[in-house]
Structure formats: C-alpha cells, structure tokens
Chains A and B, each alone.
Chain A
C-alpha cells in the first residue's frame, strides 16, 4: 500500500510538472501573439522604448524571448520552477504576493464547495437511493426525468436567471417582511457579502451543486440497482433482516465505488463551474481570481493558481483511489 501511494505521489509530481510546462508554453505563446500586456498599460499613448522596457521589467516580461513568436522561453520557465521550489510563488502585476491573494480567495471557494458537496450528498445520494429502492414506480420516473431536466440546464443560465430576475424582488420582499438584516433577506442578497459569508453563499452553492448532482444521482441509482439483485443481498433478506438494514448496511456501501469515481469527475467539473458561479455572484474566490488574471494576462497568477488547482485535483483523485481500498476490501494495491 505504501509503495502504491509513493508511486502515485511521484506520478502526481510528474503530472504537475507537465501541467506547468504546458501552461508556460501556452501563456508564452499568447503573449507573443497577442501582444505584451505591458503595451496595453499605455492605452492610446505611444510609449517610448525605455518606458515600455520599464513596464516590462515591472511585469517580469522583459526577457527578449517574448518578442519572438514560437520561442519556448525556457529560461523564464526554469527561473519560475526554481522560485516555486523555494516556496516563492511570485507576485501579481501589482506586486502583491500570490500567497496573499490565494489566502484571501481560498476560504470563499472552500465554503462554496462545502455547500456544493452537501447538496450532492443530500440530493444526489438521497434521491438516487429512493429511485433505486422504488424502481419502476412513478417516483423513480419523476426523479429520473428531473435529473435530465437539471442536466440540460447549464449552470450559468441558472445563475444569471436567478441573479438578474429573482434576487431583487426576493430580497425586497424579504426585507419588507422580515427586516433588512434578517436571514431570508441575506439568503437572497444579489451578491456575496463578506460580512455574512455563509448565508450569502447558500443559494449559489445550492445552484452549483444542483447541476453536478444529476449524473451523481443516476450513478447512485444504477450502482444500487446492481446490488439489489446481488446474491449477498438475497441472502441477507432471506436471513430475515429488515429492508432498512439491508439497504443501509449492504447496498449503499457496496455501491459506493462507482459513486466515489463520480466524485472525482464531478469535482473537476465543479471547479470550472465555480469560476462561473464566482464570477456571476461576485465571490472573490479561486475561480474568480483565475478568471480576472486571465483577462489581465497576469501570467504569474494564472500559472500559480492553476498549479495549485492541479495539485488539489491530483490529490482528490489519489484520495478517490485510496477510498476504493477503504470501501471495498477486495481492492488492494501493492
């Protein structure tokens, strides 16, 4: 088991390295083709060569390789790797350390993800289990139909519709009925408020979680159905164990493996959905940070944030694989 984990960690490090290299090449090409962000600094005014150079130094883009399209610019790449190895993750275009930006953004994204996960579990697991339990009955059909409907709705449509159509009337109503600092008024506040971090995140998190729970729901149902007809379940039933005990003790756990796999996939999906959610609801989280820095061509921040997100994703995949071993004793790694 230990050697398995070590192998996976090493593989993970290699993946992170490749991600970094690819990102570097892409952003370098983007700067070479789209124009140095240092030029955009001057807007309509035509800068002199030395003014432009001063801004390029400030942005860390003064290596001449940035003027030659196609040049892979490996020297800045190694410099950046060396910095990362020393724990120096660089600064944004204004000189703010990346660690500070991330420390500010991570709690918001984490809170959003906690709400999203709870939504998945409650809606996905519960409804999936119910659909499996009452297979073929009306409730099963309606749950499956609803999941298809939810799946068809892109997350940004839900969010934009919610924010621009529903929040204002809902907030005004809630404020009038319950008072302006009341819980319902804050729940429907049109944008995220730093002084009430959890309350103003519940609805966006719910909506984001809804979009991810549809595949989850169906996977749970399918996995459990497989187990309903399994031999060990029939044995348990014939022993006289109650339905509840059989469902909870034998079925759910054994159907967890494909579900846990889904967690891995949907996690990556939710990460990109978070960018949209945070953008629409004005939440200063990792997704928003990434989005803003891409728009500003802030290379350091883009690479730094994506690196961290890749590390996190790889970590989650590793945990998912380890969870298999925990859930199913037949699965062992050596």
Chain B
C-alpha cells in the first residue's frame, strides 16, 4: 500500500507516516527473493552459460513436458534410451545397451549397467516402467499421455466419459500391461500393433525414466526434477531464474565443457536487449528488430540458421461434399497460385523456406520435391481452375486460422495472391477457439494447419495427421481417406527394419502427393545469434533448438 509523506508539517502524524514508509522500504528490501546469486560472474573457475527461458515454463517434469523450452532444459538434465544425432537426427542407443525386435511388436530393451540418477537411485528397467505408467494413466492428465497409445494396455488406463464429461467408467488399470520388467536391466514392451518406428520414439522427453523419489513427491519433482543426465537442477525461482550445475558422478560420454547453466526467464521475446548487452549467450530478436540485427555486421557474423521440421500447410474440409475443393484441380489451382517465396520474403523474411513436400526434408525419410504442384505458376493455376469448373463469381472463400498477428499477415498475403491470380475473393476468419472448431469439423473453407513432429521419422508427418482407418468419415481434421495410404503405412509399420519402413512410408507420402488433400506451404527456420563466449552452435534440425551438449564455452 502507498504511504504518503506529508512534506513539511513536522507533527506526529507526518513522522509516523515517514517511519512507516521507511519501515516498508526496509522490509521490501530485506524480503527480496535474492536466491539468484550469480553476482560475481567473472568466470573464475566455474564456466557458466547464460541462457533465456520462457516465463511460462511451469513444470520440469518430463512426463508433463511437451513444449520447446521445457524440452530444452530437460535435454541436459535427463538421458533417454536413445538420443538423436545432431546433424542427421537419426537415433542411436545411449542409455540403452540394445533395442531388439523380431516382429516390430514385441521389443526387448537392455539398459547399460551402473547408471544412476542424481540422487543415487539406479537407472534400471523399473525406472522407465514407473515413468511410462505415470504418463499413461489417464487421470494424471500428463501432457505426454498420448505417446503411449501404441502400447498394449493403454486403453484400460484411460477410463471412459460420456458427452457431458462425467466419468462413466473408471480406468481399469494403473499400469501398462504391455510393459514388463523382465529383470533389473531388461524391459520388454508389447505394442498393440507392429510399428517399426518404436525405437525412434524412445528419445523423446516423454519416455525419460523417473526416480522413485520423484513419483513419491511429484510436486517437488516438477520443480526440481531428479534426472539421470549430466546436469542437475540447483534451484528454480519460478518465473525468475533457473540454475543447473554439472554432476560429478555422471558416467556417460556426452558432457559439455562448461560447469553451470543459468537460465533467466523472460516473457515472450523480450530477452533480446539482454543479449545485446552481453548478459546472455544465445538469443533471437523479435520481429521488429529482425532487420537491424541482420544488418549489423558483427552480430550477423555470430548467427546460425537452420531449416527445421516445423510445417505450415493449408487444409480443406473434405468431409463437406459438393464443394469446389472436392475437385483436385481446384486444390492444384490454389497451390500454384501462391508465390510462397514472395510471401515469406515480405511477411517473415529469412524465417521460413517454401515447402515442396509433406514430410520435412531434414528428418529421416523426408525428401524435398514430392509435391508436384507446390511451385508458383499462375498460368497453370488459372488453367487448373478452369478445368475444375471455375469459382462461382461473388462467392467468398473463408480462410480460418488461430489468433496470431504474424499468421494473420501471412494468410492475408496468401488470400491476396488468390484474389490477384485467380480472382477468388477471400475472408480471413481468425478465432480463439481454432482447435476446438477444427476437431468439431465446423470449417467451411480453407484453414491453416501446423505440424511439429514428435520424433524424427517421416511416419510422424503421415499417420498421425492423415490416417483414420475410417473409409466412411476419413480422419477428423480433414475427412481424408485413401486405402492405398493406409496400406503403405501399415506395411511400413510391419517392415523388418527401419530403412525398409522408411521406404514404405515414403510410398505413403507419394499417395498423398497423388491425392493432394492438403497444400504444403513452408518449413520454419530456426535462427540463433550467439555471444563471443561460446562456440560450436549446432541447431538440431528436428527440434530447432540449440544442442546444449554440443555448445562449447570458449570464454
């Protein structure tokens, strides 16, 4: 509360007010949450990296972390059974000694010996089972719950609800029947159906192990997780600062050369001035400062750009019949009328590249150019539109998307190109309720979609997005169904090894290319500027994040 000090009158009231003000001053100063104690940052013997973290990071529990910032922190605090090669994104065994299967349905995972969590507990088969069961159990409402859909026994752990959301059937099981701890270091996983990409999934944050002490006190663990990785969390002053330091008892080889990491939390992209002032080691400018940062010769010499697997694409409600977009020629016309490069250069310069495929070229199985009609050709577009029967004059094409300034500008540019090249009038409809409306199939027009893969495999761009197994209704978001597509996916799932699986999944992508249900637009770039104190910035092409274990402190 405010205390107003009366300026000149000396009587008791004023003095009292003054004393109160001073007391307030003193208590506020003393009660400062000064646990962020890196006031002496001269390096000394402790090499410290200073990074920015989003202020809305609200948990560090791997079972509940599915957002970039959380995942980035957990990548140094935990080790997964497999890790992904920073350049090719191919998985390799890390905590796992071996992962074997004969039929892609039953997987035997052997874990390396003598690995421990930072609290001394062993990293064994039980620690993985414990974490996976916690995530898969429906009532825990963990963000990574759906990753366990493919494992036997998942459905029994969800229970059922009626349309009003009332629980009609409680979950029958608290553990995945398909996960068996054979012995201390051996885990046997049985899937509901063969899936060749299962071992690829195991590097994801949702599959990290959990110590018993973590499950016993989940709340404390969300704040200060007990990990098995090279760094342990020292302290988290939530909303302000997160610090981690290197473990002395860490046995595996992937350890960076610095000793401490200090994450300061910022709202949105407001960390840029701190990076410019030299307080942070990695940073990216907000859109307004983009040009200035790129024109600065010193800064742009310390910049790394990498194309990521983040796809933006245009969808159509194929579940509605008798619409212009039912006809493939119409969709081709739309795709060829869009000058993707020009839109990127105008709205989000250097921040994206045009997409020519449904799968990101940067991950295993992805290849640029699978989309034949993703090139800009206004004449061919007009011809295709003609072939499709034209666009009824006066009719307006609705374009739906979520509320976001940059996306709205981007799709306005797309709409303008359609109007210019095809004479189609459009109306942009941004909505807060975008996700709900899309799954409720409320759209009557084109809509923006975005896909960020869960694991680096081309299958993840295909099956979760387009597969349904429902010939009558097609998949929820698009109403798409093609028996050849489903067949190729199934054959890939059952393929004897990962390379033949990838080849089969590529066939599925070719079916998509033939059917052309959606229009790929662009893949995002990840751009990072770095300070003079660090080197060897490697951006992971799958996550778009800087690989902290590759980062070198050069002081």
Task: Report A's interface with B, CB cutoff 8 A.
Answer: 33-36, 39-58, 62, 64, 67, 92-96, 104-105, 107, 110-111, 113-114, 117, 121, 125, 163-164, 167-168, 171-172, 175, 181, 189-191, 193-198, 248-249, 252-253, 256, 260, 263, 267, 279-280, 282, 284, 288-289, 291-292, 295-296, 312, 315-316, 319, 323, 326-327
Question: Which residues on B sit within 8 Å (CB–CB) of A39?
Answer: 435-436
A249-B8, A292-B56 are known contacts. Are A167 and B277 too (CB-CB below 8 A)? yes
Question: Which residues on B sit within 8 Å (CB–CB) of A52?
Answer: 161, 165
Name A195's contact: one of B39, B145, B274 (CB within 8 Å): B39
Question: Which residues on B sit within 8 Å (CB–CB) of A56?
Answer: 165
Is there an interface contact between A181 and B274, defined as CB atoms closer than 8 Å?
no
Is there an interface contact between B273 and A194, defined as CB atoms closer than 8 Å?
no
Question: Which residues on B sit within 8 Å (CB–CB) of A167?
Answer: 273, 277
Residues 146-178 of B, flagged 1 when their CB comes within 8 A of A and 0 if not, give 100000000000111111111100000000000
Is there an interface contact between A58 and B4, defined as CB atoms closer than 8 Å?
no
B219 at the interface (CB under 8 A from A): yes
A104-B33, A263-B4, A288-B267 are known contacts. Are A168 and B277 too (CB-CB below 8 A)? yes
A168-B273, A189-B277, A284-B240 are known contacts. Are A256 and B476 too (CB-CB below 8 A)? no
* Interface secondary structure of B, over-half rule: loop
Question: Which residues on B sit within 8 Å (CB–CB) of A291?
Answer: 267
Is there an interface contact between B267 and A44, defined as CB atoms closer than 8 Å?
no
| Cα of A54 to Cα of B162 in the assembled complex, Å | 13
Shortest Cβ distance from A190 into B: residue: B273
B407 at the interface (CB under 8 A from A): no
A46-B476, A67-B165 are known contacts. Are A195 and B34 too (CB-CB below 8 A)? yes
Is there an interface contact between B7 and A194, defined as CB atoms closer than 8 Å?
no
The 10 A-B residue pairs whose C-beta atoms are closest, nearest first, are A190-B273, A54-B141, A35-B433, A248-B8, A194-B36, A58-B141, A94-B58, A34-B432, A197-B32, A168-B276
| Cα of A96 to Cα of B223 in the assembled complex, Å | 10
Shortest Cβ distance from A245 into B: residue: B8
Which of the 9-residue segments B22-30, B75-83, B194-202, B359-367 touches chain A? Answer: B22-30
Is there an interface contact between A35 and B277, defined as CB atoms closer than 8 Å?
no
Question: Which residues on A sit within 8 Å (CB–CB) of B436?
Answer: 35-36, 39
B239 at the interface (CB under 8 A from A): yes
A49-B161, A64-B164 are known contacts. Are A280 and B270 too (CB-CB below 8 A)? yes
Question: Count of B residues near A, CB < 8 Å?
Answer: 80
Residues 316-333 of B, flagged 1 when their CB comes within 8 A of A and 0 if not, give 000000000000000000
A34-B433, A113-B2 are known contacts. Are A194 and B33 too (CB-CB below 8 A)? yes
Question: Which residues on A sit within 8 Å (CB–CB) of B7?
Answer: 121, 125, 248, 252
Is there an interface contact between A111 and B28, defined as CB atoms closer than 8 Å?
yes
Question: Which residues on B sit within 8 Å (CB–CB) of A249?
Answer: 8-9
A167-B273, A168-B277 are known contacts. Are A195 and B238 too (CB-CB below 8 A)? no
Is there an interface contact between A316 and B2, defined as CB atoms closer than 8 Å?
yes
Is there an interface contact between B139 and A54, defined as CB atoms closer than 8 Å?
yes
Question: Which residues on B sit within 8 Å (CB–CB) of A289?
Answer: 239
Residues facing A in B497-533 (CB within 8 A) are none
Is there an interface contact between B166 and A64, defined as CB atoms closer than 8 Å?
yes
Is there an interface contact between A54 and B138, defined as CB atoms closer than 8 Å?
yes
